[in-house]
Amino acid sequence: KAGVTQTPRYLIKTRGQQVTLSCSPISGHRSVSWYQQTPGQGLQFLFEYFSETQRNKGNFPGRFSGRQFSNSRSEMNVSTLELGDSALYLCASSLEGLAGGGGTGELFFGEGSRLTVL
Amino acid sequence: DAKTTQPPSMDCAEGRAANLPCNHSTISGNEYVYWYRQIHSQGPQYIIHGLKNNETNEMASLIITEDRKSSTLILPHATLRDTAVYYCIVRVVGSGSARQLTFGSGTQLTVLP
């Protein structure tokens, strides 16, 4: 079956702009989580959505937001972009929400969206 | 979730077994040990997980010590394509409590020809 699909794969923005990234999970997966990866901070959890509700949130400012649609597809938005937002943004889907609910806890990651802020 | 400690880097000769250690001395009884790897510029890939028994799948074996304070991921016959950063993570599964996946720095495994 198809894996996790993230779009766009690469994008360049300037400071102050906003960006929207999209993630389509594996069919049947209802949990979608987002991670930011930078050379300095490594992989950091942003938030997790399950059945259109945000259930977990990492330690990121309010400029980072997300949502999930009824078909489990998810988007994340970053407003007022800063140079430090340049990163690889990874989406992962799971049968199990991070807060439990069945499955083996295995996360399936997409290839990521690489954002460069100039 | 319990914190993990991994060596920052390791080398392994192609065709030999790669043994990657992980220390998780504060692990709780209901926390599983998960291993993921990330090949350069790709998303992390699940490898294996276990609670207290040793586990084996087509990719690797996971050996967990009896006191569960440490574990070892074994790639039995490492290839050049196994060069990646390997992450050891401990987390609760199906607990009903909110958890987030915490990645540490991982171990950069370099398989040498």
* pLDDT confidence of residue B59: 94
Q: Could you tell me the pLDDT band of residue B73, with boundaries at 50, 70 and 90? A: very high
Tell me the C-alpha distance between B2 and B20, whole Å: 18
Tell me the C-alpha distance between A79 and A88, whole Å: 16
Checking if the pLDDT of B76 tops 60, the result is yes
Residues in chain B within 8 Å Cβ distance of A110: 43
Structure tokens at A1: 């079956």
DSSP type of residue B29: T
Q: Do B94 and A102 touch (CB under 8 A)?
A: yes
Rg, C-alpha atoms of chain B:
14
Looking up tokens 């300095």 gives A40
Peptide bond preceding A61: is omega within 30 degrees of 0, i.e. cis?
no
Which of A9, A4, A11 lies closest to A33 in space, CA to CA? A4
For residue A112, the surrounding DSSP H or E stretch is none
Q: Do B44 and A33 touch (CB under 8 A)?
A: no
Residues B1 and B22: beta-carbon distance below 8 Å? no
CB neighbour list of residue B78: distance below 8 Å, 6 or more residues apart: B12, B13, B14, B15, B16, B17, B18, B109, B111
How many A-B residue pairs are in contact by the CB < 8 A criterion? Answer: 75
Mean residue pLDDT of chain B comes to: 90
Question: Residue type at A91?
Answer: C
Mutation target for B interface from A6, A7, A43, A88: give the one with most B CBs within 10 A: A43
Q: Do B43 and A92 touch (CB under 8 A)?
A: yes
Residues in chain B within 8 Å Cβ distance of A107: 36, 44, 46, 101
* pLDDT confidence of residue A13: 98
Q: Could you tell me the pLDDT band of residue A101, with boundaries at 50, 70 and 90? A: very low
Tell me the C-alpha distance between A59 and A64, whole Å: 10
Tell me the C-alpha distance between A11 and A7, whole Å: 10
Query: Which residues, in sequence order, are bridge partners of residue B85?
Result: B38, B108
Tell me the C-alpha distance between B34 and B50, whole Å: 7
Highest mean pLDDT among A108-117, B26-35, B37-46: A108-117
Chain A residue with Cα closest to B41: A111
Structure tokens at A110: 């997409």
Q: Could you tell me the pLDDT band of residue A11, with boundaries at 50, 70 and 90? A: very high
Structure tokens at A13: 């923005």
* pLDDT confidence of residue B2: 64
Instruction: State the nearest Cα–Cα gap between B92 and chain A, in angstroms.
Output: 8
Residues B59 and B10: beta-carbon distance below 8 Å? no
Q: pLDDT (tens digit, 9 = 90+) per residue, A25-84?
A: 999 888 899 999 998 888 999 999 988 999 888 899 999 999 999 999 999 999 999 999
Q: pLDDT (tens digit, 9 = 90+) per residue, B37-59?
A: 999 878 999 999 999 989 999 99
Q: Which residues of A touch B (CB under 8 A)?
A: 4, 33, 35, 42-45, 48, 55-56, 58, 88, 90, 92, 96, 98-112, 114
Tell me the C-alpha distance between A42 and B100, whole Å: 15
* pLDDT confidence of residue B43: 93
